[in-house]
Structures are given as C-alpha cells and as structure tokens.
Structure 1
Amino acid sequence: MLNICTSGVLAATSIQTSSVFWSVTNLIVLGLLSIGNAALWVTYVNWTHSFPQRCSTLQKLRIVHDFFVVLVPVVLVFWLGIAGPGLLFGGSWENLNPWMWGLVGFCSIGLAKLLVQTIRYQLRQSPSTMVVTESRVEEISNRTNSSLVSSGKYQRLARLPGNEQLRVEFNEKTFHLGGLPEELEELTILHISDWHFLGTITKEFFVEVCEIISNDSVDLVCFTGDLIDSQPLTDWIPDTLGKLTGRLGNYFILGNHDWYQEPASIRKAITDLNWVDVSSRTVMLDVDGSRLEIGGDETPWMGEEPKFSTAADFKLLLAHTPDRFSSAKQQRVNLVLSGHNHGGQVQLPIIGPLYSPSRHDTKYASGLFDEPPSMMHVSRGLAGRHPLRIRCLPEVTRITLHGERHSS
C-alpha cells in the first residue's frame, strides 16, 4: 500500500512539474511571438515612412503601429494563454483553432524576419574598398559653458540617461574606387547630413561642430538634406553651414523634413551663402581637366531624378534617401552620398537598428555599400527631430578618394 501511495505521489509531482515546465515554455513562446508581431509593425512603419506623406498622416500611421504592438501581446496572453486552449495552464497547442493559428503564423513571420535581419547585421562587414584612417569622438558639451539642450518639445528625451546625442563621431574615411580619374586622386569630401534644426538641441551644439570641421580643408562640402524642423531656425544657417567652405564649392539638397516646412525659403537661405543647390539637376566641374559631375535627388518628396551626362569622367550623386541607390546604379553613378535613416538612432545589442524609414528596412541604415558599378555612403546624421541616440553616435565624415586597391 505504501509503495502504491509513494508511486502516486511521485506521479502527481511529475505531472505537476511537467505542467509547470510547459506553462513556462508556452509563456516564452508567447513572448517571442509578441516580439515577432512588433518586428512586423516596425517594418510597416519603415515602409510607410519611405513614401511622401505629410507629418499628420505619418502620425496616424504610427498610432496604428503603437496600437497593434500593444494589443497583440494582450490578445496572445488572454486568448491563447488564459482562455481558449489555456497554454499558460497546461493547455495544448493542438487545441488552437484556425484563427489562432493565423495569428501565430503572422507573428512567426515577424520573428523569422527579425532573425534574418539580425544575422545580416552580425555578418555585415565594411567593404574592403573603405579604410577608416581616423575616428574620434567629441563630447560637445565639454567645449562650451552653454546648455546644449533647451526647454523644447523633446527636452526630456534629450536629457534621458544614456542618450549620446551630444557625443559626435568625427570620421576620416578613405574610399578606393575603380575608374577614379587620376586628376581626382585624393579628392576630399566633407559629407554632412540630417541636422534637424528644431530647437531642442540648441544652436551652440551645431556652432561647435562647425567650428571643429571648419578647421580641416576639403575640396567639396556636401549636405544631403533635412536641415530644418522649425522654419524660424533658418536664422541659424549663417552661423553654421555658412562657416564651411570647400575649395571646389559647397553643394546641397533638401530632405523630407525641409519639405514639411517652407523649402523655397530654406533653399534661398542656403544659396545666399554661395552654396550650390543641385536638386533635380547636375553641375559639371572641371578639375584639372577631369569632368566631375555632381547631381542631387530629393525624390520622392520633391523634384525629379537628375540625368547624368555620358561625358562625365566621375559622377557624384547627393540623394537624401538611400532608396535611390538602385536608380543611381542604373545611371552608373560612381559615388552616392545619402542620409535620412540616421543609422536607426537606437541600435540594440546583437540585433542592431530597428527603425529605418526605407523600403529596404534596415539594410541601408548607415555605412558604406559597395555594389558595382556604384558605391554609397549613408551618414548617420548629426541630429534628429527626436533627439535620441543610443549605440548610434551622430556622425560627420571627411572622405578621401583613391583609385582602386590592388592586392600585393
């Protein structure tokens, strides 16, 4: 009798332990499905933000994202975990109905996409055609006694512990390009992008950055869009962009955030400082007998795709969004300079960036991409409407061009 009782107790304990194990396992699975759901809605935001939508429309689209990111985990826990098959109380997946399996399948697609994205991020290496010769980080707040964060709309975000918005990475990069004319050997380009004058980050921040980069001589200064987020702050332009000079000139395009404001007024404020607006067109420079053609692409928000000449010896395109890379390759543009994606602004450990307003999701979030016949550099930008940077420092880059590298 004692043996029978002991066996019964052990069996009951084993069943109880097994039930707890499967309940915890199912809770983990529901958590992973919730992550997959969020990944799909992040992709939805990235994709919809790549189209020419006004701010009011984008805000509504983000509300849809916020709603379903929160709603679906609640549904998973109550519909599958507590009610229905009761997966959190020893229930079986075999008891899911077709609608439940549909929801599981939807979330699983997002989880698979996130896994692929993470693997791509982990395996990606900078092309051998790029050499970073110097990279230094400056804490801009250490250079001034002024506060660099005002009482603007997003001041709490800017003051968030761990936010690296005020730490700027100044990079020196060398690009090796096949077919670079001898006359353009060691041509230098200052690539700056996405400054987002809103007021939360004060004018002094941008003045200090310009003070640093104006000390180095360059041949070209190129700005690839998104300067103004508050129209009155065009008054900041003379003391910032106005302090920069390239030996062969300064060239710019605007971006979608400038489109939200008064782009004609912004263009005038910049061109009044002798910057060249290359939007929807190209200009041809004679550099020691070599024809360097510079074009600008602000589509899909403004203008049209510039048409490059077949007579150019080297083609340089300023394109606000990296989504224009495929079009640039069709025109055999040698080098594309772009911004817009901000490197994601927040990069998670292992996973990397999540939010990147592009049809290609996070593929072109930042960095150099060598896809013959073209090469593209995507800047992380200097700021953003939302002044938050975590593991994704603001960036200014000085590029030096060299001919193709040859292995010894």
Structure 2
Amino acid sequence: MDVKQLATEIEEYVINIRRDLHRNPEVSMEEKRTIKVVTDELEKLNITYEVIPSGGVIGFIEGENPGKSIILRSDLDALPMKEAPRNLKQEKVVVSKKNDAAHLCGHDGHTAMLLGAAKILVNHKDQIKGKIILAFEQGEENGKGIYRMLKRLVEIGADGVWGIHLKNDIPAGKISVDPGSRMAGVFPFDVIIRGKSGHGSRPDLANSPIACFSDFYNDLQAARVRSLNPFQPITFSVGSIHAGSSANVIPDELQFSGTARFLHEDQGEAARRVFTRLLDEACHKNNCNYEFIQEPAPIHLFVNNEETCANIAAEAIERILGEETLTHYPAWMASEPFGFYQRYFPGVFAFVGIQNEKKGIGAEHHNAHFDIDEAVLKLGVAATVQYAIDFLNYEKEIDYGKETRDVTTLFHDLNFAIYDPEDK
C-alpha cells in the first residue's frame, strides 16, 4: 500500500469536508449537523458505527486478518467566537457562515483527516491486521463529550490510541510525535472577592476588591519564581475580570476566573496551595473576603506519548513522508481530554504543523485570524493510516501503567466534571 499516494489521491475529498465543516460550525454539544456529516460519510464507506448520545460517533473497520485494535480519534466542535475574514496576511479560503461560532482551533481539519484515513483503511481492509475504531468526540472544548465517549470505548476495549492536533506555530509540513509530555494538566478557578463600596473621592473609607485583586494577581505572577519549583513548568492566566459600573464608585465585589497549567502532579498541587495562600493574604491585607465559585482543584489530565508508540510513529512518518518531516516540539501548555484516552490505551498525540508565513497562516489557536494550510491535511491522513497499520503489526507487548479505576471513579478522583444528561 502506497499510503502517501493514496492520501494524495483523496486530498480533494478531505479538503472539501474540512471546508463544509468550517462553513457550518457547531459549538460544544450542539454538533448535530456535524455528526450527520460524519455518519453520512461512514454510511457511504459502508463503515458500521454507533452514535453515543452526548459523546460522539464511534465507527468500526474490521480487517480481514485477526489482530489487535486501535482507536483513531478526532474532535468535532467549534468555538463560540466570531471569525475574522482574513488571516494574518490575506482573505481566508473559507469562513464561517455564523457570527457566533467558528472553527478556530482546527477541529474541522481533524475530523476531515480522520474521515480521509477511514476512506483509505476501509478500502484496504485486506491489508489490515486487526480492527480500527474511529472516535469522533463531541464537546472537546468544554470537556463535556469525553465521559460518555470514553466509557463506551473502555467497554469496547482497544490496544492503543492515536490522535492529531494541528499546530499553528509548527511549520507546515512538519510533524511532531515526541515521546513524553505533550500537553498539560489544569486547574480552573472562579472567585468572587468582596469588600466595601465607597465614593471615589474617599477610597480610604472603602475596602476595594480591585486593590485586593491587584495585590493577589501580582503575587500570583511572582509565585512562579518565589514559591514554585522552577524546573517544572507552570502558567497562570486570568481570562475574565468583572467589577463595578461607574468611574467614581468603588465596587463592593469583583469576580475573576482563569486557569493554571502544569506538567507535573506535584507542581499542580503546590500551585493550588500557593493560590489559596496568596488569596488569603491579599484579602487579609485589604480587609476583604472571598468565595470560590469554582475551587482551584488540579485536574491531572496530562497528555504523554508512550515511548514505544512514539518510536513506531516516528519510524512510520520517516518511511512514508521522509525524515525531514519529523520535528521536535516542546510540550504545549494547553489541556486536552486526549489524556484520558492515554490512561487506558497507550498511544500518541501528534502535532501537525500548519504555519505558513507566505499564506498568512500562523495566528494562535482560539484567535479570530486562525487559519489552516490545507496542504498539510494529506500528511495527517498519511501519518494516521501508516501509524494504524504499523501499530497493529507490532507484535511485542507495550508495557505501560494502564489505568485500573473505572471511568466514573477516575473522573471523580481527578476533579473532572462529569457531563451525562441521562444520569439522574
């Protein structure tokens, strides 16, 4: 099977699907049309599937020879954002038709690539040793689709997993499948600071929650140097602040929310303790108090590429796309539910570069100017197909720390919210 050639032959198919999904984006847990696109394509390819309510779609390709099984995963949802018609340099090839939803993270490309890989694999079942499980996950952005999807996949069982994320700051045509840490754990926080309101002419008679937050925020930024292990990466960011409505009135409360990201469990736990201590100290200093709307509880949801699987992936990509395609990339401090899959199934999360300065492509994910170099989609398809074949043909045991807890217990233990509308 000439996987590179086969991926080139279906390039137009993949691009057309990506553009259709891009024009018609649907936000997390509202992906009805997107699921219909996926299931229609699976039916055309004679691939059996099941729809997981509030989870996504799972498809099955049975090889003609017995063997292991592998999950190939993509995500379906868009962001609740308005898209800019231009990227960093020029008009985009395709733009969302909606004002309140847009694919500005690459999930349209992920879904299109997985359907392209499915098209190749199902047409070459005679060369597949084992079973391919296609997982199209709902609600990746808000984490609401992973619970029911993962529960079903654990019931089905598999020997490995593969996923792709397009990456804005990796040059187009390059792919990273480095072993080890790939994406971060997280603790979200949402806090109300309460003080005492007053007139702007007499701030001495008020207890300003804004001044309190300012002290806390500055101390939090300094904590990375003063209080936390400098050899373990961590980021803090506040994305939302609301306080007051009049220029000459000191408000009585302020609400802020954000996240911390980290790559080590002990760093996440230390950060939680530091966060609470600094908030206590700032409130005491400013005669304020606080309430957690969402307490900073670390979610140790790390994406870690298993070393043997990463080596299989690197060898597969080098063989079909050339050694120059491989690139090294440090861990991305964003977070991804793919880490849940890797607790039960050893595997790889690949970063596929889309940055192309000539085309104006390279804006950050979740940015209105985000765009994709569609020329790389066929490379993602080829890498997916070849990895699946090579993994299924790999006969040695892969020794990894498989999760022993059931999915519900794991979610509770990791402080991850369970979304299950059928759970009364």
The alignment's TM-score, normalised by the length of structure 2, stands at: 0.23
The alignment's TM-score, normalised by the length of structure 1, stands at: 0.24
Structure with max Cα Rg: 1
Q: Which has the higher contact order (CA 8 A, sep 6+)?
A: 2
